[in-house]
Amino acid sequence: MEWNFLTAEKLATALSAGEVTSAELTDEAIARIERDDKAINAICVPDFDRARAAARDADQARARGEDRPLLGIPVTVKESYDIAGLPTTWGMPPHRNYIPAEDAVQVSRLKAAGAVVLGKTNVPMGLQDVQSFNEIYGTTNNPWDHGRTPGGSSGGSAAALASGFGALSIGSDIAGSLRTPAHFCGVYAHKPTLGLAANRGMVPPTAPALPAEPDLAVVGPMARTARDLTLLLDVMAGPDPLTLGVAHDVTLPPARHERLRDFRVLVLDDHPLIPTASAVRAGVNRVADALTDGGARVERHSPLLPDLTEAAVLYTQLLFSGFSGRFPLEAYEQLRTHAAELNADDQSLDAALLRGMAFSHRDWIEADSRRELHRHGWRRLFAEFDAVVCPITPTPAFPHDHNPDLRERRLDIDGVEYPYLDQLVWAGVATMPGLPATAIPTGRSPEGLPVGVQLIGPMYEDRTPLRLAELLEQKIGGFQAPK
């Protein structure tokens, strides 16, 4: 039997029934990686010897009667997570030999749940791109079209899942880094509510793995089905045992509804700052039609929706203010000089980026206060709706573009070029206020490329978009393996 594309849920059932062993699953996954990954380049740091040992341990544990959520299931891990004994480089050549001594907290949780870690997946340099290439490990290709990107920065994880290299993966997201690769590769991903899953050990080399909570950034699960996302999120969720975990446990509320016809959904396909390609718009409409057909209440407009233009500017400022915090003082002062020279009427995202990088602490506090107003607006909206459906990026996967200056790159949207970084505005809809968002596949573009959308839910009600994703999977189909 071909095991590589079965869900984690089905693999767990087969393992429990004695139909297959973890050693057999692991050997088959490794064989597939060795056969197919030369063309994809998703697995940048294989760990096959330890994976085989972990699989044998899992089989012995099951024979003793143990039953853990991921016992014996092969998985992959984004390169940016610390794994003791393996390099963590974030694709940055100066750190190619850095090897941490301890596992990231999420890697520890995977192992405690019984998962078998096959290896680490490729990323862009510094995790700062919606593509996945670097000088150390090279370029990861989209399994559907090797001339196109699988997305980033969790692109290696998405490509691995689409190629059958493990049943699950874990990634991270600050600018769509879970959702965009899922959209580009036709798999599922979930950006949890900000702070729901501890991220200690997901830090740049050689920074210490401290239990700090960075602004905007989250860690989260990737899978080939919505139910598997929930399975993995339950392993990942919970505060760091060194901080909030000393006194708090997590109990996520159940999904608001179990039936499609009970959901109230706001559907968006237009952003005021960037157009939506026809292929992505068709994916949004496919979901809207499935919701309507299933009896859900579907609206296309609401006066309760927070202003998307203001949200995009605020998101851009907060995002890039975090990047400049480690700049040398001289470089930061130059940014402040350039920002001061901007025309006050320039409200472009490019200007917002520069202003954000030049933020003072006072500027950041003011921006954070405006973010709280947006969060209040979202709470009001989610009193009337259960979820929001919208694009993840304006286009399907685009051709590789390795221009080192991201601000010089252009994104082709139905034949018209737009600034490359402007595509981040859709990711920011959920990221800026810290909302949970589930990326789901919706079908294929006319060129045969995967197209996904995101389902945004209320804060800390992650099970609501996850349940909606499961119901839509039943209605419109889900993951399909690349031909």
Q: Which of 80, 132, 157, 177 is catalytic?
A: 177
Write down the pLDDT at residue 422: 97
Write down the pLDDT at residue 162: 98
Query: Residue 310 CB: number of other CB atoms within 10 A?
Result: 15
CB 181 within 8 A of CB 151: yes
Write down the pLDDT at residue 269: 98
Q: Quote the tokens at residue 224.
A: 């080939």
Q: Rounded to two decimals, what is the model's pTM?
A: 0.98
Q: Which of 22, 78, 154, 445 is catalytic?
A: 78
Please count the residues of the chain: 483
Q: What is the pLDDT of residues 15-47, one digit of tens each?
A: 999 999 999 999 999 999 999 999 999 999 999
- 367 vs 314: CA distance, rounded Å: 7
Q: Which amino acid is at 117?
A: V
Is 153 an annotated catalytic residue?
A: yes
Strand bridging mode 450-456 / 437-444: antiparallel
First to last CA, the chain: 19
Helices (H), 64-121: 105-112
Q: Which of 80, 153, 157, 321 is catalytic?
A: 153
CB 317 within 8 A of CB 355: yes
Is 321 an annotated catalytic residue?
A: no
Cis peptide before 393 (omega within 30 of 0): no
> With the CA atoms of 152, 350, 89 and 109 taken in that order, what torsion angle do they form, in degrees rounded to the nearest 10?
-60
Nearest to 152 by CA among 406, 358, 359, 333: 406
Q: Quote the tokens at residue 169.
A: 């993966």
CB 163 within 8 A of CB 36: yes
pLDDT, tens digit only, all 483 positions of the chain: 789 999 999 999 999 999 999 999 999 999 999 999 999 999 999 999 999 999 999 999 999 999 999 999 999 999 999 999 999 999 999 999 999 999 999 999 999 999 999 999 999 999 999 999 999 999 999 999 999 999 999 999 999 999 999 999 999 999 999 999 999 999 999 999 999 999 999 999 999 999 998 999 999 999 999 999 999 999 999 999 999 999 999 999 999 999 999 999 999 999 999 999 999 999 999 999 999 999 999 999 999 999 999 999 999 999 999 988 888 999 999 999 999 999 999 989 999 999 999 999 999 999 999 999 999 999 999 999 999 999 999 999 999 999 999 999 999 999 999 999 999 999 999 999 999 999 999 999 999 999 999 999 999 999 999 999 999 999 999 999 998
Q: Which amino acid is at 395?
A: T
Query: Residue 43 CB: number of other CB atoms within 10 A?
Result: 28
CB 305 within 8 A of CB 383: no
Whole-number Cα distances in Å, 280 to 269, 397, 400, 454? 8, 11, 19, 11
- 151 vs 187: CA distance, rounded Å: 12
Write down the pLDDT at residue 170: 98
Write down the pLDDT at residue 325: 80
CB neighbour burial string for 199-229, b if at least 16 within 10 angstroms, e if fewer? bbbbbebeeebebeeeebbbbbbbbbbbbbb
